[in-house]
């Protein structure tokens, strides 16, 4: 490579040469090949960040542990086996005959056996009416109560004998027995349990302090991290399995606060209530469920994250039951159609479908149709995030709530209440399907509507204070039918504005069409309560009034 002085050039003899030297020799700044090669390398390194892909560092996996033995030896003493027993009601008769393939050699055998042992005064399943061949024979004495047993796992969180497990492990138990790794058995008492998160807290009395393990900050868990599961699969006692965190924030539709850690560490029946450990020996989750068609592990297990579990455990320890924050709303998912109809750039947040009268949301002036996009300075990315965030908020704390309303953000202040045992929900209003005289047909939406009057109120059994416009017919195959609307449902609001007559509803639709929106948002009062339904807008030929 040659470098030249940047001096002014002028024309001479058809070439470009310096004005004071017509035939200058080319000047090399660096004559050494080694130096020139070094400069090329340096130039490439400096240019790398400017070129896409050249400056990226390759993903490198850390080496797997040579052995989990030291960690397992440290943790095993803190994991216990839990067995429960309960009285089952006496059976009135024998169980039904097992399902056998037609023509099986055992089919007739079981039929004869069941007939011989059938209690007097009963008929075989599917038998025709007529005299009972066993009528008048001595009655079989009632069978005594049976004892049922179940097995699970747990772990010690306090040397005084506090043990955490799943609620479903001890649910309905009359007696709970804890077996320590040294085969010591202790009777346990129930401190408290929580069905919604499936966590229970037990207490045992021991003559000496028990080895305890701490909860981790599960928010630091990453997909791909190594984990250990220790438990009591199939009653085999302390069993250690290893795997990784397969996924985070899994919703398996088991409750309102689903936020599970998914792992491929082998988890089987009996592992329920056992701990999922990180490599620091901390509990990052409580093994709770598996996905399986056979009952055995296929590498898809789920654990309650520690950050959620330890809040519940602390409340069970202090109050004997879980205390959760409560906003007093009914919410639904924000779909792309709903987002477009309210001017939200992307679907997200939780849409308010109903408000509990006198609840925290009502007092904070939150309205149906608002979309909660932030609560207590935490983003609500989707509907299922809001119940968990509210539940984890301190009761009695005033927090900011950012909602999307009228095309812009509004920040309100809400005082978080305590979730009642049986929170009230919006009431449903059943309805019929017959046509109604004088109904207005909305051809573009596939709906027939009518005002709420004495006849329609009686016909569809609407509440005396019900307001809105009642749906009297839904066109089969229409968008309204696909979204589950039916006769008897009531349209309460359109685009977050109340409507009480078909004329008001038509006016709102015309306004929406003038705004060139692709869908219209309606608040529907149905048998399931209130919920928002977006309907696509098509060419509307105008209302047609059917003759009565």
Residues marked active site are found at: 168, 198, 272
Alpha-carbon distance of 344 to 195, in angstroms, equals 36
CA quadruple 18, 20, 21, 22: dihedral sign: positive
Closest to 184 in 3D by CA, of 291, 74, 77: 77
Contact predicate 86/170, CB 8 Å: no
Phi and psi at residue 15, in whole multiples of 5°? -125, 170
Contact predicate 543/350, CB 8 Å: no
The residues, ordered by sequence, that sit 6+ positions from 423 with a Cβ below 8 Å of its Cβ are 326, 328, 356
The residues, ordered by sequence, that sit 6+ positions from 10 with a Cβ below 8 Å of its Cβ are 16, 17, 19
Phi and psi at residue 27, in whole multiples of 5°? -105, 125
Cβ neighbours around 422 below 10 Å, total:
6
Residue reference for tokens 């219209």: 520
Helical (H) or strand (E) element with 371: strand 371-375
The two tokens of residue 361 are 């949301």
Contact predicate 457/466, CB 8 Å: yes
Alpha-carbon distance of 212 to 275, in angstroms, equals 12
Cβ neighbours around 310 below 10 Å, total:
21
């Amino acid at each position: 490579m040659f470098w030249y002085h940047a001096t002014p050039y002028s024309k001479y003899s058809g070439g470009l040469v310096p004005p004071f030297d017509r035939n200058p020799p080319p000047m090399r700044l660096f004559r050494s090949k080694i130096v020139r090669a070094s400069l090329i390398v340096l130039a490439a390194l400096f240019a790398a960040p400017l070129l896409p892909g050249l400056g990226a560092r390759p993903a490198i996996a850390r080496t797997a542990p040579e052995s989990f033995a030291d960690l397992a030896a440290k943790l095993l003493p803190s994991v216990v086996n839990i067995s429960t027993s309960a009285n089952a009601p006496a059976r009135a008769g024998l169980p039904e005959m097992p399902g056998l393939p037609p023509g099986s050699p055992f089919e007739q055998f079981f039929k004869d056996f069941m007939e011989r042992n059938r209690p007097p005064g009963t008929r075989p399943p599917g038998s025709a009416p007529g005299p009972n061949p066993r009528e008048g024979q001595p009655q079989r004495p009632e069978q005594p109560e049976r004892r049922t047993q179940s097995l699970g796992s747990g772990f010690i969180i306090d040397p005084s004998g506090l043990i955490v497990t799943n609620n479903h492990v001890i649910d309905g138990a009359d007696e709970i027995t804890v077996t320590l790794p040294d085969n010591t058995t202790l009777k346990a008492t129930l401190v408290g349990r929580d069905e919604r998160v499936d966590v229970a807290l037990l207490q045992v009395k021991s003559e000496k302090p028990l080895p305890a393990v701490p909860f981790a900050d599960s928010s630091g868990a990453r997909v791909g991290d190594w984990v250990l599961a220790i438990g009591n699969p199939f009653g085999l006692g302390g069993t250690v399995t290893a795997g990784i965190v397969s996924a985070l924030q899994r919703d398996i539709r088991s409750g309102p606060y689903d936020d599970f850690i998914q792992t491929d560490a082998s988890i089987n029946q009996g592992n329920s209530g056992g701990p999922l450990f990180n490599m620091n020996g901390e509990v990052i989750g409580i093994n709770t469920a598996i996905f399986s068609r056979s009952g055995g592990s296929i590498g898809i297990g789920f654990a309650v994250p520690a950050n959620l579990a330890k809040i519940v455990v602390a409340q069970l320890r202090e109050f004997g039951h879980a205390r959760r924050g409560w906003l007093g709303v009914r919410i639904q998912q924000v779909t792309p159609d709903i987002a477009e109809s309210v001017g939200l750039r992307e679907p997200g947040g939780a849409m308010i479908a109903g408000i509990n009268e006198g609840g925290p949301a009502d007092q904070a002036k939150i309205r149906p149709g608002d979309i909660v996009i932030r609560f207590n300075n935490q983003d609500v990315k989707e509907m299922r995030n809001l119940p968990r965030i509210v539940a984890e908020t301190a009761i009695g704390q005033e927090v900011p709530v950012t909602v999307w309303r009228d095309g812009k953000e509004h920040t309100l202040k809400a005082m978080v209440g305590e979730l009642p045992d049986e929170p009230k929900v919006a009431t449903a209003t059943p309805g019929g399907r017959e046509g109604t005289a004088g109904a207005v047909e909305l051809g573009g939406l596939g709906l027939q509507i009518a005002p709420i009057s004495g006849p329609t109120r009686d016909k569809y059994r609407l509440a005396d204070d019900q307001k809105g416009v009642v749906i009297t017919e839904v066109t089969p195959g229409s968008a309204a039918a696909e979204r589950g609307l039916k006769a008897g449902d009531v349209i309460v609001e359109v685009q977050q504005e109340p409507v009480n007559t078909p004329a008001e509803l038509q006016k709102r639709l015309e306004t929406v069409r003038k705004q060139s929106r692709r869908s219209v948002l309606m608040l529907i009062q149905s048998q399931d309560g209130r919920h928002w339904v977006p309907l696509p807008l098509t060419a509307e030929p105008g209302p047609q009034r059917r003759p009565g």
